[in-house]
Structure 1
């Protein structure tokens, strides 16, 4: 199964800073400067006359509860035909950096609520991107205890909602091995480098059959 990008479709990208990548602070870059822009450029090059619109509503720092709080305005009201979501690493990061814990159950409940609203109100196609971690510091390996269950949640939800799954965690960790270092894919273990964004964009456009 692949995503069908029909003529005049609206494609929405949602998530945190990995999706945002400057779009909020650079008015001339509404798609940001990461995988969203790269994926959009690939699609528009392949389908120049399809009239496809790309919208980026990623917000740096968001966890799943933040995303749910703005879901009506920044997702449902846009009435997209395709919804791509990448959320979760901040829920892990906050546990280790500031002691703020989001349980896996709360993560799953918020995520499922958002997807159910898309299904019930929009009947849009879904792409779920796994949250990922490519450790560049030894202590970040401990984060996997918190992140890995969230990755499993996303996999379950992809099955439950018949969504396309972009298995980003394994993809980016393998890419790091292939190029010779985690820091070449994610400078801090979380935020992709330009090369890391390129890997994500290529995988995303493959899900669109391009």
Structure 2
């Protein structure tokens, strides 16, 4: 996949994508991986500001929340590249609120969103897998729900020809050399270094390239 200066890159997902963006400012990118990607692409632009980048992450969202706002927050922007990062809240809500998101329903919903995007926009797709870096003993048990959900994300992304960013591999690999909390203090929300690693993985996956994060 090649990213051009005239592309519109739209990112949608939960708080990991949101990353504190100002929702009253349509140009706000937050302080996470979306911001890091945009900054890198601006630095590498040939002439002008580089691709337009839109952040439509909202903290707390599950896949069903994305579906309820997909027409306005994705299709309405007419992006040429759509990146989706979703899934951890569908797992997390099971353990903190008892809110069930059956994997087969989750997968069917994600499938509808990707199919609708291709049908209406012919947009190129990028899917970032959910990840977890357990920092408490109880979080180890989350993988019982998260692992099959991640498999569902991979199946759906592959079915629709999406470029896949394996955050579920990149961050645990980085955690082999440092405490998990250094990358995600609560096991879910990335630190600045964690966000930079996701950004670098995205840039590498789409062929845009990026220098490695500072170790």
- State the TM-score, normalized to the length of structure 1: 0.95
Partner of 2:213: none
Partner of 1:79: 78
Partner of 1:202: 200
**Offset at residue 208 of structure 1 (A):** 2.7
**Offset at residue 59 of structure 1 (A):** 0.3
Contact 1:24 1:59 (C-alpha < 8 Å) held by counterparts: no
After TM superposition, what 4+ stretches of structure 1 lie above 4 angstroms from structure 2? 25-29
Does 2:126 match 1:150? no
Distance 2:23 2:181 in 1: 25
Per-residue CA deviation, residues 71-96 of structure 1 (Å, 9 max, x unaligned), is 00000111100000000100100000
**Offset at residue 24 of structure 1 (A):** 3.3
Pick which of 5-14 and 26-35 moved more.
26-35
Partner of 1:57, secondary structure, is strand
Equivalent residues in 2 for 1:78-117, closer than 5 Å: 78-117=77-116
Partner of 1:176: 175
Structure 2 residue ranges without an equivalent (≥5):
210-215
**Offset at residue 44 of structure 1 (A):** 1.3
Distance 2:27 2:75 in 1: 22
Contact 2:5 2:45 (C-alpha < 8 Å) held by counterparts: no
Per-residue CA deviation, residues 98-139 of structure 1 (Å, 9 max, x unaligned), is 000010011001100000001111111111000110100011
Pick which of 67-76 and 49-58 moved more.
49-58
| Aligned-pair Cα RMSD in Å | 1.4
Contact 1:104 1:150 (C-alpha < 8 Å) held by counterparts: yes
Partner of 1:96, secondary structure, is helix
- State the TM-score, normalized to the length of structure 2: 0.92
From 12, 16, 19, give the equivalent of 2:17.
19
Partner of 1:118: 117
